Amino acid sequence: MKTKKSIYLFMIPGGLLFLVFFAVPTIYGLSLSFTNWDGLSNGFKWVGFSNYVNLFTNDTTFHQAVGNTLKFVVSVVIIQSFFSLVFALILLRNTKVNVFLRTLYFFPTILASVSVAFIWTFIYDPNIGILNAVLKIVGLGHLAHAWIGDPTMVIYSLAMAEIWAHTGQLLIIYLAGLQQIPVEMNEVARIEGASRWQIFWKVTWPLLTPATTIVVAYTTIQSFRAFDLVYAMTNGGPGSSSEILATYIYHQAFQYNHVGYASAVAMIFMVVIAIITMLQFGILRFRKSA
């Protein structure tokens, strides 16, 4: 009985933090989503589900923001996870060169997102940017582009900046996972005649499921929260071609003073994140059991 009471006592601090910083703000935001509050007035009117109805039926910018968010998240999750795993496999041995390269690849992670935004804004500049200059030097000048000025390319250009900034961070997670795999398992598979690809696919990859779960979940949440990068580079432009849900909430709440409407978007945003995260965990758990 004393042990159970001790467990409950240890749960109290975490429970209070959850209550104060998640449960209460979520309930408050949910209640605001049924109002027309502008964030400044003392009063507001209850409008029921009209904010939600308008979002799904009339708000084309919201629809575009949802599409842009999914494009951004899917691109970042797939490409960033792939490169972090590839670099981890290449840099697995603890040589001096590999340790130096791990540090070098990790360095962008410590930069503020606004700093990353300024770096990549310069790289993408159509006139003096490094990217277009390099393309011209190697004879691919016809590919030179206004990377964040083209509505069809801007969301993917932003995704590449996000990938560059955080691949080194996830590389460390994959390195930790790879170093936990017993060397004997790979040696046995090699003795039995398995190729490198077969060893990776049948031995290494299944044992990396815990690390992959962390990488995918973290990358997904991180991508949904890429407000500062997008805001600093494009502010959702040109037009609304790079508007994501995070910047859309900001614009509605602080630019147009539609706090009630922004709260409705935030509630939908939270549900989308929860659904995608649960699907990812479900797929990875199924793959592990299979």
Give Cα separations from 151 to 62, 158, 217, 240, 281 (angstroms).
16, 12, 28, 8, 33
Q: Which of 139, 155, 136 is nearest to 147 (CA)?
A: 155
- 173 located within any domain: yes
Lowest mean pLDDT among 8-12, 16-20, 178-182, 229-233: 8-12
Residue 289 confidence (pLDDT) above 80: no
Split at pLDDT 50, 70, 90, the class of 276 is confident
115 touches 230 (CB < 8 A): no
- 3 located within any domain: no
Q: What is the pTM of this model?
A: 0.90
Q: Which pair of structure tokens corresponds to residue 171? A: 């590389």
DSSP code at position 39: S
Q: How many CB atoms lie within 10 A of CB 203?
A: 18
Instruction: Find the mean pLDDT for residues 197-225.
Output: 88
- 264 located within any domain: yes
Decide which of 26 and 3 is more confident. Answer: 26
Note if the bond before 238 is cis, omega within 30 degrees. yes
Split at pLDDT 50, 70, 90, the class of 217 is confident
CATH assignment of the domain containing 139: 1.10.3720.10
- 20 located within any domain: no
**Structural domain of residue 193, as residue ranges?**
49-289
DSSP code at position 242: T
222 touches 214 (CB < 8 A): no
Instruction: Find the mean pLDDT for residues 50-73.
Output: 95
Q: Which of 170, 157, 127, 168 is nearest to 229 (CA)?
A: 157
Split at pLDDT 50, 70, 90, the class of 1 is low
- 41 located within any domain: no
Decide which of 8 and 199 is more confident. Answer: 199
Mention every residue, 6+ apart, whose C-beta is less than 8 A from residue 174: 84, 85, 88, 89, 208, 211, 215
- 223 located within any domain: yes
pLDDT digits (tens, 9 = 90+) for 135-194: 999 998 888 889 999 999 999 999 999 999 999 999 999 999 999 888 888 788 888 888
d(CA 60, CA 242): 14
Mention every residue, 6+ apart, whose C-beta is less than 8 A from residue 48: 34
- 177 located within any domain: yes
CA angle 147, 227, 217 (to 5 degrees): 100
Mention every residue, 6+ apart, whose C-beta is less than 8 A from residue 115: none
- What percentage of residues in the chain have a pLDDT greater than 70? 96
pLDDT digits (tens, 9 = 90+) for 88-142: 999 998 899 999 999 999 999 999 999 999 999 999 999 889 999 999 999 988 8
Domain count of the fold of the chain? 1
- What percentage of residues in the chain have a pLDDT greater than 90? 65
- 194 located within any domain: yes
